Amino acid sequence: MDAVDVVPRSPRPLTAAAVSAPARLSSLDAFRGATIAAMVIVNNPGTWTAMYWPLEHAEWDGWTPTDLIFPFFLVIVGVSITLSRRTLNASSWRIVARGAVIVGCGLFMAGFPYFNPSHWRIPGVLFRIGLCYLAAAFAYRWTRGPRQVAWLLGASVVILIGYWLVLTRSGDLSPEGNIGAVIDRAVFGHHLWKDRWDPEGLLSTVPAVATTLFGVLGGIWLQTPYTLSKRIAWMAAAGVLLFAAGTAWDVSFPINKQLWTSSYVLLTAGAAALLLAACIQLIDVWHVTAWSAPLVTIGRNALTVFVVSGLVAKAMILATVGGESVQTIIYERGFASWIAEPKNASLAYALVFLAAMYALCELMRRRGIFLRA
């Protein structure tokens, strides 16, 4: 999503003119770029049998750094909603169209390359992002006014508490026994990731909307007429508070990405706030930007990287030469034969894959091409 730069270079209070400045928020682009880069590395190892633990999802309860990636996307979507003129000035139909494009990209990736309806997974990452964008964008527009923050915060609290009650009092918290899986089987049949359940199902998308609303609240805070240092400090403080609240709630409602539990929402939203505050401090206050330039390039074409990386990886697995997939041939005869440690070889493959995606984004940047929903 587009973002408008509302963070000035100095800690002076913002004026109305400063709030509507048309430059991009580079720190948000860098955060988005870092998130999509992490996703590419996680999703494209040389082999799934040799991976360092931070690059793996938690098997069920608990979390690893990899489990922060998806909610970071949603927080970024929420922040972008408040800063993008394309959202603020768009008609309702245009917002619906943007959400539909995101969902459509996800469905296309799920069906590629055979597009066999009987084996088509319907829920997915972009499916959820599209739905969350729609819900958060309309919530932001419909609550405009002096009590907007109270409405959005109240809605987030109601969602998190309501989801906790529904999930813990209906069925159990197992993959197939939770109420969300029951709903998904009734709605989608076997068009699910695990046939009997899906981590991006309908019910667990509801708390994911709350994750996006926390991003909206962060975007609203960035536009308040306080000094930049105060906004960074309070965003970081909110991040610590949310992270601590999620950790505390984990005792009775486990942190679980697959179920997108309320404790997971709080913890990941807190982590996102802390990292976004750090990006703003580094880029917009200290002007340390050399490290962020490649990430900004990737972040400005994040949807392109998401779709292209997924399609290329899938094509390399499905295409075979002599009975072996192209991906296996490249990894085994290249990286694995040159690097003795399997985990290092697997990571090296992922890093080269990421470098190829960056090269594509850099080429697009030089030609002024930025593809967005």
Q: How many structural domains comprise the chain?
A: 1
Whether 208 is in a domain gets the answer yes
Whether 11 is in a domain gets the answer no
Q: Any idea how long the chain is?
A: 373
Whether 1 is in a domain gets the answer no
Tell the residue number behind the tokens 């805070």, with chain if given. Answer: 221
pLDDT in tens, 164-202: 999 999 989 999 999 999 999 999 998 998 878 899 999
349 token code pair: 């493959």
pLDDT of residue 154: 97
pLDDT of residue 13: 35
Whether 7 is in a domain gets the answer no
The Cα 180–Cα 173 span in angstroms is: 9
261 closest CA partner among 316, 320, 211 = 211
Minimum mean pLDDT range among 16-20, 109-113, 134-138, 331-335: 16-20
pLDDT of residue 340: 87
**Residue 11: pLDDT band with limits 50, 70, 90:** very low
Residue 264 has pLDDT above 90, yes or no: yes
- Helix, strand, or coil here: 60? coil
Whether 350 is in a domain gets the answer yes
228 closest CA partner among 285, 272, 275, 289 = 285
Whether 355 is in a domain gets the answer yes
Residue 21 has pLDDT above 60, yes or no: no
Whether 6 is in a domain gets the answer no
Instruction: Taking each helix axis as running N to C, give the angle between helix 228-249 and helix 205-222, from 0 to 180 degrees, rounded to the nearest 10.
Output: 160
What is the pLDDT averaged over residues 294-308?
Answer: 96
Q: Which domain holds residue 263?
A: 16-366
pLDDT of residue 8: 37
pLDDT of residue 372: 82
DSSP code at position 285: I
Concatenate the DSSP letters of all residues of 310-356 into one string: HHHHHHHHH-EETTEEHHHHHIIIIIHHH-SSHHHHHHHHHHHHHHH
**Residue 84: pLDDT band with limits 50, 70, 90:** confident
Whether 8 is in a domain gets the answer no
pLDDT of residue 86: 67
- Start-to-end CA span in the chain (Å): 7
**Residue 18: pLDDT band with limits 50, 70, 90:** very low
